[in-house]
């Protein structure tokens, strides 16, 4: 007798079996855990390292390879892949399932601390991403502005992000896509070359000037006071007051002359160069082209130059002779 034939001939038994299945299903449903965003165990960690201004080959040789060699020693590692692009290194580590992702993250962080001293100075600290449901946003807000486009980030930060972050239960509120206010400094390539300056020099000088420096503590009676030198800019116009020195350790901050061994200098500020020393340089070059012997204060910072003192003595003697004639 087939199953279908038995179910027809014994309707009571069939009904009882169907009722038992329904009751068991309802009981299982009441015990089934339900979560809108359930915790999902992952086995992947990503390490992102920024190296501003570096090419893909520099990233591969100086950042990605040292990090890969160190991260290969992480326990329970199943597979590792990397991608090097301009300004960025991205390493993905895949682990065996069943391991605590937090423990693995700490292990990766310890390995990165070991290799950090071997990376170039301009490399930023590596950022570790471990995927979890906690990082999935539960809400997205889109904002547009017809005016004050450059100030949109600050407006959102003050009026939207801070109030939302204070709501109980909210973990993180972030802004993406909004333009941040910035000051752009444009340099004339021809002037940079003429004044023996580079973009990196300008950038480092601006960064060194735009910071607050702690000055230690001092005691007056029973009170202790902290000293701090405030150097951060309050106005973009303060950038115009920065002294840009073209002096470097191996050569003088001076302008080279055509057809002459010595240089005219030194230079201290761009305005000083533009108004005074370019005129002197032009006159000196004209005189040198005409065969006039120039008595110029020579540079003492040129490697391998052993006659600077002799030329300086000759120049001083000529100046003294001319002063006596006057």
By percentage, how much of the chain surpasses pLDDT 90? Answer: 1
Residue 256: pLDDT band with limits 50, 70, 90: low
Instruction: Calculate what percentage of the chain has a pLDDT beyond 70.
Output: 71
All residues at 6 or more sequence positions from 47 whose CB lies less than 8 Å from its CB, including other chains: 67, 71, 89, 90, 91, 92, 93, 108, 112, 126, 127, 128, 129
CA-based end-to-end distance of the chain: 138
Residue 134 neighbours by CB under 8 Å, 6+ apart:
171
Q: In the structure, what pLDDT confidence band is assigned to residue 246 with cuts at 50, 70 and 90?
A: very low
Give 72-110 pLDDT, tens digit per residue.
888 888 889 999 888 889 999 988 887 888 888 888 888
Q: What is residue 307's predicted lDDT score, i.e. its pLDDT? A: 74
Looking at the predicted structure, is the pLDDT value of residue 308 above 60?
A: yes
Mean pLDDT for all residues in the chain: 75
Q: Where are the domains positioned within the chain? A: 1-32, 44-135, 146-181, 189-241, 255-325
In terms of pLDDT, which residue wins out, 147 or 197? 197
- pLDDT beyond 60 at 210: yes
Most confident of 29-38, 135-144, 192-201: 192-201
For range 195-213, the mean pLDDT: 79
Can you tell me the distance from the alpha carbon of 114 to that of 70, in angstroms, rounded to the nearest whole number?
8
pLDDT band at 167 (very low <50, low <70, confident <90, very high): confident
CATH code that applies to domain 44-135: 3.30.70.1430
Residue 134, pLDDT score:
63
Highest mean pLDDT, choosing among 191-205, 231-245, 264-278: 191-205
Asked if pLDDT for residue 118 goes beyond 80, the answer is: yes
pLDDT computed for residue 324 by the predictor: 64
pLDDT of residue 269: 45
Residue 232 has pLDDT above 50, yes or no: yes
pTM of structure:
0.42
Q: How large is the average pLDDT for residues 195-209? A: 81
Which of 58-67, 131-140, 159-168, 244-253 is predicted most confidently? 58-67
């Amino acid at each position: 007798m087939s199953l279908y034939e038995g179910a027809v001939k014994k309707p009571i038994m069939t009904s009882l079996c169907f009722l038992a299945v329904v009751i068991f299903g309802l009981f299982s449903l009441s015990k089934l855990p339900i979560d809108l965003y359930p915790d999902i165990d992952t086995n992947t960690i990503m390490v992102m390292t920024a190296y501003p201004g570096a090419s893909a080959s520099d990233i591969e040789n100086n950042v990605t390879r040292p990090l890969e060699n160190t991260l290969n020693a992480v326990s329970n590692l199943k597979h590792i892949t990397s991608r090097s692009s301009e300004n960025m290194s991205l390493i993905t580590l895949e682990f065996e399932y069943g391991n605590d992702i937090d423990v693995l993250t700490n292990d990766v962080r310890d390995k990165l601390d070991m290799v950090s001293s071997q990376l170039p100075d301009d490399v930023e600290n590596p950022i570790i991403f471990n995927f979890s449901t906690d990082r999935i946003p539960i809400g997205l807000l889109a904002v547009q502005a017809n005016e004050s486009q450059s100030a949109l980030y600050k407006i959102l930060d003050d009026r939207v992000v801070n109030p939302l972050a204070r709501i109980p239960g909210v973990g993180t509120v972030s802004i993406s896509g909004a333009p941040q206010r910035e000051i752009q400094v444009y340099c004339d390539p021809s002037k940079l070359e003429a004044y023996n300056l580079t973009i990196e020099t300008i950038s480092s000088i601006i960064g060194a000037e735009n910071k607050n420096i702690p000055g230690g503590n001092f005691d007056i009676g029973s009170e202790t006071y902290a000293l701090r030198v405030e150097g951060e800019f309050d106005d973009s116009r303060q950038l115009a007051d920065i002294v840009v020195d073209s002096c470097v350790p191996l050569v003088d901050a001076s302008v080279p002359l055509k057809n002459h061994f010595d240089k005219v200098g030194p230079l201290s500020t761009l305005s000083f160069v533009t108004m005074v020393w370019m005129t002197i340089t032009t006159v000196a070059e004209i005189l040198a082209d005409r065969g006039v012997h120039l008595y110029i204060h020579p540079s003492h910072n040129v490697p391998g130059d052993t006659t600077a003192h002799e030329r300086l003595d000759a120049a001083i003697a000529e100046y003294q002779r001319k002063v006596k004639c006057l």
